[in-house]
Chain A
Amino acid sequence: MGAILDMLCSTMPGAATLASVQHAPAGASEGAWWVMLIPGLPILAVLLVTGCAIVDIRGKIPAWITVGSLAAAFGVTLATYLEYSGGTAITYGFRWIDFAWGAGEGQRFVADFAFYVDSLTCLWMLFVTGLATLIALYASEYMEHDIGPNYCRFFAAFGLFVFSMACLVMGDNLVLLFLGWEGVGLCSYLLIGYFFKKDSAVQAAKKAFVMNRIGDLGLLIGIFLTFAQFGTVKYAELFELVGPYLELVREGRVGEVPVLVQIIPVLFMIGAFGKSAQLPLYVWLPDAMEGPTPVSALIHAATMVTAGVYLIARTYPLFLVSGWALPIVAWVGALTALLSATIGMAQFDIKRIMAYSTVSQLGYMFCGLAVLSSAGAAFHVFTHAFFKATLFLCCGAVMHGFAGQLDLRKLSGVMKMSGWGIVGGAMLVGCLNLAGVPGTAGYFSKDMILAESFVTPGPGYQAIGWILLITAGMTAYYTFRVFFRVFVGPEYFEPGDEHHGDDDHGHDHSHAGGHGHFHPHAPGWAINLVLAVLAVGSIAAAGAYFVDRGHHGWVGGLVHASTANYEEGSAAFLYHIDDSTEIVAPVDGADGHAEAGEHAEDAHGAHGTILGLDPHAVMYYISAVFGLGGILAAAWLHGPKGAWGLGLGSRTEAAHSRADALMDAMQPVARWAQHKWYVDEFYDFVIVRPLRVLAHAFHVIDKLLVDGLVNGVGALPRLIASRVRPLQSGELHGYAAGMAVGIAGLVLTVWIVLAGVSG
């Protein structure tokens, strides 16, 4: 396909001259113009859809335009992958920002609208465009109740999102990345607030936006510092400049890396935490489920939230020379994974469970990056994109079919209902992946991270490994809790109230058998097709693990070929640890783990092995045990009687299961988990309330002092005038008397003054 496009290119005179200009720095080849189509086609779709909105088209044309252009963009991405995945190519668009404030070094700021294509870019864009195409197709059916201007609005924002994501991922420099970063944030805001007449949706959109701003500030300062330190924001030049520092780290002279260089990744990390919903800033993501489900699936599960992971992977060399960034990332990721998994276990809204699961899995990805398994993190991003999209779309199908019902206590046996087979099957595939059942893609990707976290020496990385393992068990439990309760068991449902309420407690006025007049409508061909494709994709993703074994699978190979690759001994924080223990032992990273184990055994005893065995080999079993254990626990607690409950379950009604007794038994904890550990309330109390009090105080000050001053200044002349006005009576004598008294006063004053002077 690349060749065909090149032929097309040669017939276009303008494009030829464009291509003839050499812009690529050393080490990167000139990219073909058609790479620009990847962001170009979605933005074209946005324009066309906007046109549809203007001419007031009622129909699915906007959806078809979007699906078509996204599919084309996917095709172009595929061509790009085939053409460039081996090396680095830069496609130059135009000079975007260029200003100088002096002729000296670092006094010129340049940012091109150019696209940097390497294997990491290709990986991300492949699943972004691919999933976007499928989910747009799904949305064409899902959003059909909104056909009209709102339908156009949805697809315009959808296309804009893909465009922004392309800028984010493919940008040649940090500024273009920031453009995309803010662009996806904007689209996220627009789509969370899609049902803008619903207050909770508006609040959620605002929350997401504000939370992201906090992170974005970190990223922005990081970009500023990058420019201040390196004098450039282009990746190609940046990585060349980081090279010497990497060399220093490799030689063990970590102390010679400037502190500023070590701070930059910490700031990037804050940005990543905001966008990818990590611990201090994660609270926006569950609320973001107020948006339409396709949006939740694409933006808030598969693609946008992995932007943080992408940012770290993209600027991995910077992270490797910092002694602090990656350990912080590891701990934050692990704690986020654990915390959100515990919350997910206690929720009843299936979409929220999936949201917390996303947060949890993002924590895994960050851990993967932090334990020097960038390949594992990328692979997990890849597999997670598929199975989480699947899960969300299944939840969306349920929600679509049952009028917004999302409470797992009010749905049961959905899979047995006619027309829901594909949904149930896809759900099962997604659940198996998420739970990490042996043989699934999720199993392999999770294992890569888990194994590395045990073998990589770092501050408390062993503990992180155990936290992640426990989290894996919890993940399996809450995933299959949903499956056992909603998809199998006795057939039962209560329809929701059309516009789906996010509130778990909103439907407590349940009346048994309330489905007298309601008939759930099974998903149509588009939803079924997409779900089937995604389910197959989720299963097939496992195959990627076996493609390029030398680099831990196909994804690993792609990462290996990019700057996100970890080379032996180039991580600064390892040396910090070793400095403290006075042992210098560079630990091998992605490759030879047997040696790594040996080295680590000398150095730290338990490091490098799990129970004295090769971590990769043993992790297959350990994580399988945790995963299956979680599933069995879910089956016993929530499973229905019979085969689908694996013979363990006892549930015969929709709402009642053994878990209820357990929940009652561990009441405070369960309630806290159900209330998300009161983190929102805590933030409200610690940040929002004081700010509000402060704002009120300032409001009062403003009213009293500032307004008082201003109004006082305004009122003073009026006050004086009201006293003076009667003097202008029109009475001639009054004026004359005033004049006489004035002169007399003047003379008296002079007299008194002179008397004072002479006396």
Chain B
Amino acid sequence: MDSIINPYLLFVGLAVAGVGVAMAVPRKRVNPQVIGAVIAGVGLGVVLLGLALANLDAIPNLHFYVFGLIALGASLRVVTHPRPVYAALYFILSVLASCGLYVVLSAEFMAFALVIIYAGAILITYLFVIMLATQSPSEERVEVLAEYDVEGRRPVLATIASFVLLAGVTSLMFKGTAGLEPAGGDDRAAEVLVDAAREPTNTESIGVDLLLGRPGTIEIAGVILLMAMLGATVLARRQVDLEDEAKHRAAEQLAARGGLVREEVQA
């Protein structure tokens, strides 16, 4: 571990980052989100800097830092933005940054697949759902923020739990990677390297790996997707009885907008 990064530096950096994230979580009154984000960035930056300085011969290239910064910033925004729509949009940004990282890691097929599936398909679904499931703005208050969106729940506790976990995992991982031989020392990996040289592209290799190596898994994945589709269909088709409270609220909204008299609704 100490060959990769000084553990105290790691812990201190993560602690600072944790404080920053905790500050960035939405609150009702005092809401130092920007300061929190900066602090978090400083904390993580310290760690990455430490990592780079400790291993000057293995500094990742510049793209890593650019995409990493975007990804983390977008992630933080996803988590802290009080409006779900923006959160979803920031998530797309985060996905795109991740795709950049994928490309840096020579996984261009996965990068594009991610853009198409995640940013293209899944996130659109999210946006639709957000549209379906948010209360429509009234005339007086164009932008209604639900109470549950405004305030985070126990941010300090959550941050401590998460960053302790992160500190533990990273310190364990850094301890472990020190003992790992890079590929090339591994015969099988070398063989693959030799055989695959020049001829198949990354995408072809993945296809081969996927279809030849894990046909059963693909089938299972297909079944899962099918079931998910069926389940979603069933759930979406169901007619739901509104609870009294919800009915009441809907009626109120309708009354406020469409001029229906309150008493009528009551009757």
Direct contact of A and B (CB under 8 A): yes
In the complex, the answer to whether A754 meets B164 with C-beta atoms within 8 Å is: no
Residues from chain A with Cβ under 8 Å of B157 in the complex: 737
Asked if A715 is at the interface of the complex by the 8 Å CB criterion, the answer is no
Q: Output the least CB separation between A744 and chain B (Å).
A: 4
Q: Could you list 10 A-B pairs, sorted by A, with CB under 8 Å?
A: A733-B154, A737-B157, A737-B158, A737-B161, A740-B161, A744-B161, A744-B164, A750-B168, A750-B172, A751-B171
A743 with B171, Cβ < 8 A, contacts A733-B153, A737-B157, A737-B158 known: no
Q: Which residue of the partner chain A has the closest CB to B168?
A: A747
Residues from chain B with Cβ under 8 Å of A748 in the complex: 164, 168
Q: Output the least CB separation between B97 and chain A (Å).
A: 24
Residues from chain A with Cβ under 8 Å of B162 in the complex: 740, 744
Asked if A463 is at the interface of the complex by the 8 Å CB criterion, the answer is no
Per the bound structure, the CA–CA distance linking A10 and B103 in Å amounts to 119
In the complex, the answer to whether B172 meets A751 with C-beta atoms within 8 Å is: yes
Closest 8 pairs between A and B when the two form their complex, measured CB to CB: A747-B168, A744-B165, A740-B161, A744-B164, A741-B161, A748-B168, A751-B168, A733-B153
Taking CB atoms and an 8 Å cut-off, the chain B residues in 167-217 that contact chain A are 168-169, 171-172, 175
In the complex, the answer to whether B165 meets A740 with C-beta atoms within 8 Å is: yes
Residues from chain B with Cβ under 8 Å of A754 in the complex: 172, 175
Q: Which residue of the partner chain B has the closest CB to A740?
A: B161
Per the bound structure, the CA–CA distance linking A232 and B199 in Å amounts to 101
Residues of A in contact with B (beta carbons under 8 Å apart): 733, 737, 740-741, 743-744, 747-748, 750-751, 754
Interface of B is mostly: helix
Q: Output the least CB separation between A226 and chain B (Å).
A: 79
Q: Which residue of the partner chain A has the closest CB to B163?
A: A744
Residues from chain B with Cβ under 8 Å of A741 in the complex: 161
Per the bound structure, the CA–CA distance linking A737 and B164 in Å amounts to 13
Per the bound structure, the CA–CA distance linking A754 and B175 in Å amounts to 10
Per the bound structure, the CA–CA distance linking A744 and B162 in Å amounts to 8
Residues of B in contact with A (beta carbons under 8 Å apart): 153-154, 157-158, 161-162, 164-165, 168-169, 171-172, 175
Per the bound structure, the CA–CA distance linking A193 and B168 in Å amounts to 82
Per the bound structure, the CA–CA distance linking A748 and B168 in Å amounts to 6
Residues from chain A with Cβ under 8 Å of B175 in the complex: 754
Q: Output the least CB separation between B48 and chain A (Å).
A: 21
Per the bound structure, the CA–CA distance linking A744 and B160 in Å amounts to 10
In the complex, the answer to whether A747 meets B172 with C-beta atoms within 8 Å is: yes
Per the bound structure, the CA–CA distance linking A750 and B169 in Å amounts to 10
Residues from chain A with Cβ under 8 Å of B161 in the complex: 737, 740-741, 744
Per the bound structure, the CA–CA distance linking A49 and B175 in Å amounts to 96
Per the bound structure, the CA–CA distance linking A638 and B181 in Å amounts to 122
Residues from chain B with Cβ under 8 Å of A743 in the complex: 165
Per the bound structure, the CA–CA distance linking A744 and B171 in Å amounts to 12
Per the bound structure, the CA–CA distance linking A754 and B176 in Å amounts to 11
Residues from chain B with Cβ under 8 Å of A744 in the complex: 161-162, 164-165, 168
Q: Output the least CB separation between A609 and chain B (Å).
A: 110
Q: Which residue of the partner chain B has the closest CB to A738?
A: B161
Knowing that A747-B165, A748-B164, A754-B175 are A-B contacts, what are 17 other residue pairs whose CB atoms are under 8 Å apart, sorted by A's residue number? Answer: A733-B153, A737-B154, A737-B157, A737-B158, A740-B158, A740-B162, A741-B161, A744-B162, A744-B165, A744-B168, A747-B168, A747-B169, A747-B172, A750-B168, A750-B172, A751-B168, A754-B172
